[in-house]
């Protein structure tokens, strides 16, 4: 199988749902939150490389990564509309060719499928978070729209994937995709890109904890 095709097929399927990534280290805590919202293949990858020194702003792609700059920002809310601090948001995506670039440091781990363009942030006192990265490309020779995979870790409670972040201006985004996004795991994942004044893009992806997540624990 060509390397490009293998890199694409290694990704988690679409719509099932700081600093660049460094060499994997131990999770910030010895205990791992249980995965809910099953099935969730490879959800343990969110813990591989996780550290304790997270802030509300982080970087997924290095500053010199080829591609157009993208900022992902948002607020995490509970289901009563209150901002929630201290929630970990994990995200990963393809590069500007539409593949998940390999990171040999992740060899043998679940996170190897996610590639090297991955990162974590922890919401601030107002529930806000931000990633700086590049705008990902869609998979080559496929009709799947470009997207960013996202997961939530509610510290001491649970972890789960939420709907992928998709871009409203993507020509691959079909009416069927839009209908599927209406359910909104973790709130709506469809974002409207806006220019940032320097040639890059900004999108907002707010998150509602537990929204449409099967098996989400009761308060």
Lowest mean pLDDT among 23-37, 113-127, 151-165: 23-37
Residue 2 has pLDDT above 60, yes or no: no
Q: Which of 62, 127, 59, 115 has the alpha carbon at shortest distance from 88? A: 127
pLDDT digit string, tens, across residues 182-200: 668 999 999 999 999 899 9
Percent of the chain residues past pLDDT 90, beyond the cut: 72
Rounded mean pLDDT of the chain?
A: 86
Q: What is the pTM of this model?
A: 0.86
CA 155/CA 145 separation, integer angstroms: 31
Average pLDDT over residues 171-178: 87
Who wins on pLDDT, 158 or 25? 158
CA 100/CA 139 separation, integer angstroms: 9
pLDDT digit string, tens, across residues 40-87: 887 899 999 999 999 999 999 999 999 999 999 999 999 999 999 999
**What is the CB neighbour count within 10 angstroms for residue 6?**
12
Average pLDDT over residues 16-27: 37
Q: Give residue 114's pLDDT.
A: 96
Q: Give residue 31's pLDDT.
A: 59
Class of 3-208 in CATH: mainly beta
If 0-12 CB within 10 Å is exposed, 13-18 middle and 19+ buried, where does residue 63 land? Answer: exposed
Residue 127 has pLDDT above 80, yes or no: yes
| DSSP-assigned beta bridge partners for residue 11 | none
Going by the DSSP 8-state scheme, the letter that residue 156 receives in this structure is T
């Amino acid at each position: 199988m060509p390397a490009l095709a293998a890199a694409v097929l290694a990704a988690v399927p679409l719509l099932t749902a700081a600093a660049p990534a460094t060499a994997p280290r131990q999770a910030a805590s010895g205990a791992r939150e249980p995965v809910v919202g099953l099935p969730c293949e490879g959800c343990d990858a969110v813990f591989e490389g996780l550290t304790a020194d997270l802030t509300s702003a982080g970087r997924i792609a290095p500053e010199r990564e080829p591609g157009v700059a993208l900022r992902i920002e948002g607020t995490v809310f509970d289901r009563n509309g209150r901002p929630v601090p201290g929630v970990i948001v994990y995200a990963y995506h393809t590069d500007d060719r539409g593949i998940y670039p390999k990171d040999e440091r992740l060899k043998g781990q679940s996170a190897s499928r996610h590639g090297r363009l991955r990162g974590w942030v922890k919401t601030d006192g107002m529930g806000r978070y931000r990633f700086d990265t590049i705008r990902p490309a869609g998979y080559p020779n496929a009709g799947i729209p470009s997207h960013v995979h996202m997961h939530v870790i509610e510290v001491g409670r649970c972890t789960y994937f939420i709907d992928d972040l998709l871009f409203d201006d993507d020509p691959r985004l079909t009416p069927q995709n839009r209908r599927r996004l209406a359910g909104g795991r973790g709130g709506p994942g469809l974002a409207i890109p806006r220019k940032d004044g320097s040639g890059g893009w900004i999108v907002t992806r707010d998150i509602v904890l537990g929204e449409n997540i099967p098996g989400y624990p009761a308060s």
